[in-house]
Chains A and B, each alone.
Chain A
Amino acid sequence: MSHATTNHKMSAELEAHHHAFNDDKTQFGFWAYLMTDLVLFATLFATYAVLHNNTWGGPTAGELFSMPYVLVETMALLTSSFTVGMAMLAIFRFKQTQALIWFVITFLLGAVFLGMELYEFNHLVHEGLAWHASAFMSSFFTLVGTHGLHITVGLLWMGIMMFRIVKQGITHNNVRRLTLLSLFWHFLDIVWIFIFTFVYLMGAAAV
């Protein structure tokens, strides 16, 4: 058993080394995409910063959001950024079951985050504070909604990759794709730090 695992690991590592150059290029290409996505988010942050006080007589960010609720949301996403790292460590050590368990935990934490966000959106719309209520609500829904859309895509991607691991095992192609997925997921957590800080914390501080 352990002999077979070692052989599998060695051949996979050789193969990985062979493709290292192409993998570095793929990873750099994906990184370049993430950086352009960062610029996209920057324009939405700038829009929010300019429009967030334009509430048209409606409630401000500080009056609207429950801070403990947002903290739980933030902790769920932050923890999922850690667990996706744990999943990748298991992948690099060719521990399939362990990797799958970490990916399932990551997926559930991501789903909790997305569910809480959708609940909040739904609540706001029912309060009559949809995206057309004021410039503040428009910029809020665009910024936070774009992040939520990225999370949704990340969850779909993660679901497909978990299926592929079960079907195909830890192949070279799957390792490459999972590496990109983990970069994407860490990136989304970093964007959320700034949404948490500038939308929710600054809203509560009424700046």
Chain B
Amino acid sequence: MSHNNNQHHATHGSYGSYVVGFILSIVLTLVAYVAIVNDWFTGMGALLFVTTLAVLQLFVQLLFFLHMGQERGPRWNFMTFVFAGIVVFIVVIGSIWIMYNLDYNMTHKMTPEQLDQSIIEDEGLGEQGTSDHHHEEQTEHHNH
């Protein structure tokens, strides 16, 4: 990274920085792959583990491939990146949050038969789904 013989270009690095970035990216990819294929983590643990590795690799590539740290102020590239990051966070997390709570049919694993059954029960269309207590139970079940 220190080897930068063209001062007017703020955004290109050295052989060393690319090699380090490449090796780190390969290691992070392989660790995530091996962990999932060998079932080291399941469920929420797996999600958190691979998300952390993906975000780490994002920063590795931003630093070593896109040379984000070398920009001179005012750091417009960095600022637009932060703004885009906030928008991405709101769009992705917001969508998942809202849809998970709003539409129980969407984010849960169900066969067509189970889906029909759950609609009949939750909307009180069948004989089984008429009691309020039962309805509460079904909703609870779906939220898990």
How many A residues, CB 8 Å from partner?
59
Q: Is the CB of A16 within 8 A of B8?
A: yes
How close is A183's CB to chain B, nearest CB, in angstroms? 7
Main SS class of interface, B: helix
Task: Say which residue of A49, A71, A85 sits within 8 Å of B65 (CB atoms).
Answer: A85
How close is B104's CB to chain A, nearest CB, in angstroms? 11
CA distance A67 to B29 in the complex (A): 13
A-chain residues with CB within 8 Å of residue B91 when the two chains form the complex = 39, 42-43, 46
Residue numbers of B with Cβ under 8 A of A are 5-6, 8-15, 18-19, 21-22, 25-26, 29, 32-33, 36-37, 39, 41-44, 46-47, 50-51, 53-54, 57-58, 61-62, 65-66, 76-77, 80-81, 83-84, 87-88, 91-92, 94-96, 99-100, 105-112
A-chain residues with CB within 8 Å of residue B13 when the two chains form the complex = 85
Whether A32 sits at the interface, judged by CB under 8 Å, is yes
CA distance A20 to B105 in the complex (A): 55
Q: Identify which of A36, A53, A193 gathers the most chain B CB atoms within 10 Å of its CB.
A: A193
Given contacts A20-B8, A78-B22, contact A35 B29 (CB under 8 A): no
> Can you give 26 contacting A-B residue pairs, CB < 8 Å?
A13-B6, A16-B8, A23-B9, A27-B11, A38-B84, A43-B95, A47-B95, A50-B95, A50-B107, A53-B106, A53-B109, A53-B110, A57-B112, A67-B36, A67-B37, A71-B29, A82-B18, A82-B19, A82-B21, A85-B65, A89-B15, A193-B29, A197-B50, A201-B32, A205-B39, A207-B44
